[in-house]
Structure 1
Amino acid sequence: MVEKFPGEEGSVILVLLVATIFLALVTLGLILFFFFSRKKVIEKEREKANLKIEHQQKILQTSIAIQEEERKRIAQDLHDAISSKLNIVSLTTNVLLGDKEITKKQKETLEQILGITSTTLESSRKIAHDLLPPILEKFGLKAALEELFEEFSKNTNIDIQHDIEDFSLSESHQLHVFRIVQELINNSIRHGKADELVIFIQQKDSGYSLRYQDNGVGFDVDEVKQKAGIGLQNISSRVRILNGSLEFDSQINKGSTFLIRCKYGK
């Protein structure tokens, strides 16, 4: 049996202790290395996701701008090219109807042409109005929204309660707010099957808020947040353009609520 001296035993213990500490430090270093490496990977992935979202938002915003330009062009074409020509047809038909020498059959034909022309002219005006409401440019957002509510109430069974404060906004921002409300109402009627709406637009110290509520069938909020439809994407993009935030809540068969807060644009 080999006898160990006290000094040798202490050296072994010290070596083991140093080795243990060294291994612990190496392990801790590896853990920290993998932790920070993973953190950097996550940050990179988040940056890529944010860039992708920003890119998608820019595409949507560009798409919205193109849509508005196209709507404006079509509305102008309807007014200048189609409505003006239909007016000429209508006037010419009225002149021909005033001729006492035309036969009964000719008169009936002219009256039929006049009726078709008048109906087409009215449809053309309505389409142009929906594409670009002239009242928005002439009298502002409050008047345009009140006219919109009146049209919906007149042509559907929907009841709209509203309180729209009148305050100054740029023309482009007024148009975005108008389109947001228009889209929300269309969604409530088409998808939500709602027949009661409550809409408030109020001025705040640094901006304004839009509160929209319906009594429709509602939707799954989590599902919509994961995969929003084109309508909601357009609303979100317009809210971003308005330098605002969008919150919404809904329960199945208990309606939906949207709250938009915007800061005054430059």
Structure 2
Amino acid sequence: MEGKVILLVIIGTIGVMLMAFSVVFFVLLYRRKMLENQLEMQEVKTRHQEEMLSSTLKSQEAERNRLGTELHDSVGAMLSSIKLNLQVTKRKEGVQSLDQVLGHLDETISQVRNISHQMMPIILKKYGLKHAIEDLFEKVSSNELSTFITLWEDPGLSDEDSLMLYRIVQELLNNSIKHAEANKIELSVYRENSKTEIQYADNGKGFPEDVLKSSEGMGLLNIKNRAQVIRANVKFSNLESGGAKVNLVIAPSID
């Protein structure tokens, strides 16, 4: 009799343990499923945010292109027509006072052309990324500022990604000139292990510490957003010798 009681106790204990294990197993399984669902939802949300960001930036570029075309084709053409009419009037009437007006008009036409080219980089479409960046560097170079492309290996980017990288370099140049007070800028682009790395450096004042911590301000947020669109990890830092350094690593596209 006592043996039967002990056997029943053992069987009951095993049963309770099995039930407990079953409850724990199903709780863990439920939590794992919930975590997987949360991760999946987060991935969907992240992809949606990335798609929204990409769509927004591409829409901005399309609007820039439209406005640049309008400036170049409409406003530029109108100004050139006004200039031609004034030149004809000057020849016929001999009005020397028009010289100053024509000078101002020439300057205005030049500024409109420069703005339209910045908004719609024709050289990028015609000659590619390298020539477009070389043109950017040439335009900002002076006796006070030297620019160098120390290495260039074709990153093999699509037209849209090339435009994003062009805008990134444009923003970096603006930072170096307006904020860093640099007199030397270097850029290298090379490929390594199917990835493309871009290194940009200047010898200016460097990034303020608070800007480095947040990676915001002075156009850095724009750079981060554009880098995200071209699948690039971006790192901002300061050189020990002084000056700012920016590294971008672009992962290969997945078709």
TM-score w.r.t. the length of structure 2 is: 0.78
Give, in angstroms, the shift of residue 78 of structure 1. Answer: 1.1
Residue identity opposite 1:259 in structure 2:
L
1:34 is aligned to 27
2:250 is aligned to 261
Q: Pick from 72, 81, 103: which aligns with 1:79?
A: 72
Give distance in 1, aligned partners of 2:181 and 2:212.
Answer: 17
Is 2:226 aligned against 1:234? yes
Q: More displaced, 25-34 or 41-50?
A: 25-34
Is 2:124 aligned against 1:136? yes
- Go from structure 1 to structure 2 and tell me whether the alpha carbon gap of 1:81 and 1:93 turns closer, same or farther (over 3 Å shift): same
Is 2:56 aligned against 1:63? yes
Contact 2:195 2:249 in 1 (8 A): no
Give distance in 1, aligned partners of 2:67 and 2:157.
Answer: 25
Give, in angstroms, the shift of residue 211 of structure 1. Answer: 2.6
- Go from structure 1 to structure 2 and tell me whether the alpha carbon gap of 1:222 and 1:41 turns closer, same or farther (over 3 Å shift): farther
- Go from structure 1 to structure 2 and tell me whether the alpha carbon gap of 1:76 and 1:254 turns closer, same or farther (over 3 Å shift): closer
- Go from structure 1 to structure 2 and tell me whether the alpha carbon gap of 1:40 and 1:221 turns closer, same or farther (over 3 Å shift): farther
Give distance in 1, aligned partners of 2:213 and 2:24.
Answer: 35
Structure number with greater Rg is: 1
Give distance in 2, aligned partners of 1:21 and 1:223.
Answer: 57
**Which stretches in structure 1 are left out of the alignment for 5+ residues?**
1-6
Equivalent residues in 2 for 1:1-266, closer than 5 Å:
7-8=1-2, 10-99=3-92, 102=95, 107-108=96-97, 110-154=98-142, 159-165=146-152, 167=154, 170-186=158-174, 193=180, 195=182, 197-204=185-192, 206=194, 208-214=196-202, 216-217=206-207, 223-224=214-215, 229-237=221-229, 239-240=230-231, 245-250=232-237, 255-263=244-252
Give distance in 1, aligned partners of 2:56 and 2:169.
Answer: 19
Q: More displaced, 66-75 or 121-130?
A: 66-75
Give, in angstroms, the shift of residue 99 of structure 1. Answer: 4.0
Report how many aligned residue pairs link the two structures: 245
Give, in angstroms, the shift of residue 37 of structure 1. Answer: 1.1
- Report % sequence identity: 29
* SS, match of residue 141 in structure 2: helix
Contact 1:218 1:256 in 2 (8 A): no
Cα RMSD (Å): 3.3
Give distance in 2, aligned partners of 1:187 and 1:20.
Answer: 73
**Which stretches in structure 2 are left out of the alignment for 5+ residues?**
none
Q: More displaced, 14-23 or 253-262?
A: 253-262
Residue identity opposite 1:236 in structure 2:
Q
- Go from structure 1 to structure 2 and tell me whether the alpha carbon gap of 1:214 and 1:16 turns closer, same or farther (over 3 Å shift): farther
Contact 2:199 2:245 in 1 (8 A): no
Deviations 1:92-146 (A, max 9, x none): 22232334554xxxx43x2342233122111101101111222222322111101
